[in-house]
Chain A
Amino acid sequence: MIRAVGKPLEEIIGMVQNFDRILLAGCDGCVTVCEAGGLKETKVLGSALRLYFTQAGQNKVVDETTLTRQCDKEYLAQLGDRIDNYDAVVSLACGAGAQFMVDMYKHKVVFPGVDTCFIGVTEERGWYTERCQACGRCILADTGGICPIARCSKRMLNGPCGGSEGGKCEVSPEMPCGWQLIYDRLKTLGQLDRFEKPVDPKDWTSSRDGGIRKIMREDLRI
């Protein structure tokens, strides 16, 4: 799932301080799972903002809501009858959700309430790590099920580089070397022979380098 972290309160205050009626819109999707922008975090942010503005002697309305998902129109549409009660919205969905809200409510100021980080997994509660960079052309079948694009800090397709030491990346002693993981995995699977064939330059057009990406599923669009 997409992983995000809440923005610092000071940054959010900086964004909304010139508005009097503010709606905080959480999302029940990914950001709820990683506890960055779900109902609980939206309520906590609302309380903090109200406390701040009350102490600052500013009379503002700060309300909270959450939507099932902000990346689907039918749920965003549920705000339609009340969004004009507010001058600004802080979306605690991922960057996609926040932008989809802008698409639907073009006249409304929408601020991001979280920093969207990556597609990742929950190692433990509160500890998330990246696994996929959505390059659009999955190569896991060739690399023992471990992605060098997401997990090598130089996204090398023929790694490991000379900075791999003791299973760690040259960037940080806490960071596992992605190619050490691939090597260990290929060894476990008895597929080390795969390693020695040079992998050609990747076609990055299916990644962000090809411009804005879209999926058009004709089978679903009947």
Chain B
Amino acid sequence: MSFMDIDTPSKLQKIIKAGHLAVTSEVGPPRSADGKVIEEKGNLIKDYVDAINVTDNQTSVCRLCSLASCIRLKLMGLEPVLQMVTRDRNRIALQSDILGAASFGINNMLCLTGDHQHFGDHANAVNVFDLDSIQLIQTVKMMRDEGRLIGGHEFDVKPQIFIGAAANPFAGPNVELRVARLAKKAAAGVQFIQTQCIYNMDTMKTFMKLMVDRGLHEKVAVLAGITPMKNVGMARYMQKRVPGIDVPDAIVDRLKGVPKEKQADEGINIAIEQIEELKEVEGIRGFHIMAIEWEEKVPEIVERAGLYPRPKVNGG
């Protein structure tokens, strides 16, 4: 099975299948009941992306839920990608939310294990991890293709979901194992992946080459993760403090080399150069632009990277 198979109503899938470079971005819900924040962030980027991820209590900080936010985006006529982590919900709750999402016509999911609660604002919480990300992928696939729950119940109205997951080429033990884990996700049924923020281009290219060598790029559409640096402080923080992110010294030095008031512009420049370079890499089928609390910069990045206007597809 690949992203070419099992047609869903997903606009993202249609764009990838048509051979266009896809563009996705994300909005982080607020730490309050203010749903207008989602609308405002969605409106900022809607004409520049094909689909919008909504994060699920990212970094284990409790926020307005991803499902409600995705429904809100859907009701605005936008294309949400429901991020779902297995940290907080068992298989009953996960499957229930998938059915609920599908009932509103949400057609994309990103299946994640999730950050450990240790990072967040409720470090004393119990974690669930009844399933892991790969088992969540299996579950969505089974619900979609077989109309069956893990418990065995069979049903007629099936969720129509383009199945996504994350991949981090930069995490341990090494890039070979990271490709092996992606192969495992492909075997479980994943159709697209959005990668961790890319800064180390050499490792990313090795990852893609190993994927291509195994033919995995024909099965799984890779959207390269791009996060612009706001300043040298952010680069240093991500280099030293964020597990699984690999920021080479050259990036830090480049930002350090420009005056403070120009560092944000330089961060955007770096992001655009990365996109241009990755466009040439075999197997890259799009970009996932994660402008963290900097959504207003997404249109500029998309335009300057030559990814605007976004293609139109039937039904999209």
Hey, which bits of chain A sit against chain B, CB under 8 A?
153-168, 170-172, 177, 180, 183-184, 192, 195-201, 204
By a CB distance below 8 angstroms, the chain B residues around A199 are 134-135
By a CB distance below 8 angstroms, the chain A residues around B130 are 201, 204
Question: Is there a chain A Cβ closer than 8 Å to B227's Cβ?
Answer: no
In the bound complex, what is the Cα–Cα distance between A201 and B168 (angstroms)? 22
Are A166 and B116 in contact, with the CB atoms below 8 A?
Answer: no
In order of increasing CB-CB distance, the 3 nearest A-B pairs are A162-B168, A158-B134, A170-B243
Are B184 and A198 in contact, with the CB atoms below 8 A?
Answer: yes
A-B contacts besides A162-B166, A195-B181, A199-B134, 14 pairs, CB < 8 Å: A156-B113, A158-B132, A158-B133, A158-B135, A160-B173, A162-B168, A162-B244, A163-B116, A164-B171, A172-B118, A184-B173, A196-B184, A198-B138, A200-B138
Q: Which one of A157, A183, A201 has the greatest number of beta carbons of chain B within 10 Å?
A: A201
By a CB distance below 8 angstroms, the chain A residues around B119 are 170
Given known contacts A154-B132, A162-B168, A170 and B184 CB-to-CB distance under 8 angstroms: no
In the bound complex, what is the Cα–Cα distance between A183 and B180 (angstroms)? 11
Are B116 and A198 in contact, with the CB atoms below 8 A?
Answer: no
Q: How far is the CB of B169 from chain A (nearest CB, A)?
A: 9
Determine the residue in chain A with the shortest Cβ distance to B136: A201
Q: How far is the CB of A136 from chain B (nearest CB, A)?
A: 15
Hey, which bits of chain B sit against chain A, CB under 8 A?
87, 91, 113-116, 118-119, 127, 129-135, 138-139, 150, 166-168, 171-173, 177, 180-181, 183-184, 187-188, 196, 243-244
Are A165 and B243 in contact, with the CB atoms below 8 A?
Answer: yes
Are A197 and B184 in contact, with the CB atoms below 8 A?
Answer: yes
By a CB distance below 8 angstroms, the chain B residues around A170 are 115-116, 119, 243-244
Are A166 and B172 in contact, with the CB atoms below 8 A?
Answer: yes
Given known contacts A162-B196, A164-B244, A171-B118, A198 and B173 CB-to-CB distance under 8 angstroms: no
Q: How far is the CB of A164 from chain B (nearest CB, A)?
A: 4
Which residue of the partner chain, among A167, A172, A197, A201, contacts B139 with CB atoms under 8 Å? A201
Determine the residue in chain A with the shortest Cβ distance to B150: A201
By a CB distance below 8 angstroms, the chain A residues around B132 are 154, 156-159
Q: How far is the CB of B167 from chain A (nearest CB, A)?
A: 8
Q: How far is the CB of B177 from chain A (nearest CB, A)?
A: 6
Are A157 and B135 in contact, with the CB atoms below 8 A?
Answer: yes
Given known contacts A156-B129, A198-B134, A198-B138, A163 and B184 CB-to-CB distance under 8 angstroms: no
What are 27 A-B pairs at a CB distance below 8 A?
A154-B87, A155-B129, A157-B132, A158-B133, A160-B171, A160-B172, A160-B177, A160-B181, A161-B113, A161-B133, A162-B166, A163-B115, A163-B171, A164-B171, A164-B243, A166-B172, A168-B172, A170-B119, A180-B172, A196-B180, A196-B184, A198-B138, A198-B184, A198-B188, A199-B134, A200-B135, A201-B131
By a CB distance below 8 angstroms, the chain B residues around A184 are 173
Q: How far is the CB of B181 from chain A (nearest CB, A)?
A: 7
By a CB distance below 8 angstroms, the chain B residues around A161 are 113, 133, 171
Are A196 and B127 in contact, with the CB atoms below 8 A?
Answer: no
By a CB distance below 8 angstroms, the chain A residues around B150 are 201
Q: Which one of B129, B138, B172, B181 has the greatest number of beta carbons of chain A within 10 Å?
A: B172
Q: How far is the CB of B97 from chain A (nearest CB, A)?
A: 16
By a CB distance below 8 angstroms, the chain A residues around B243 are 163-165, 168, 170
By a CB distance below 8 angstroms, the chain A residues around B87 are 154
By a CB distance below 8 angstroms, the chain A residues around B168 are 162
By a CB distance below 8 angstroms, the chain B residues around A192 are 180
Q: How far is the CB of B248 from chain A (nearest CB, A)?
A: 15
By a CB distance below 8 angstroms, the chain B residues around A160 are 171-173, 177, 181
Are B118 and A158 in contact, with the CB atoms below 8 A?
Answer: no
Q: Which one of A153, A158, A204 has the greatest number of beta carbons of chain B within 10 Å?
A: A158
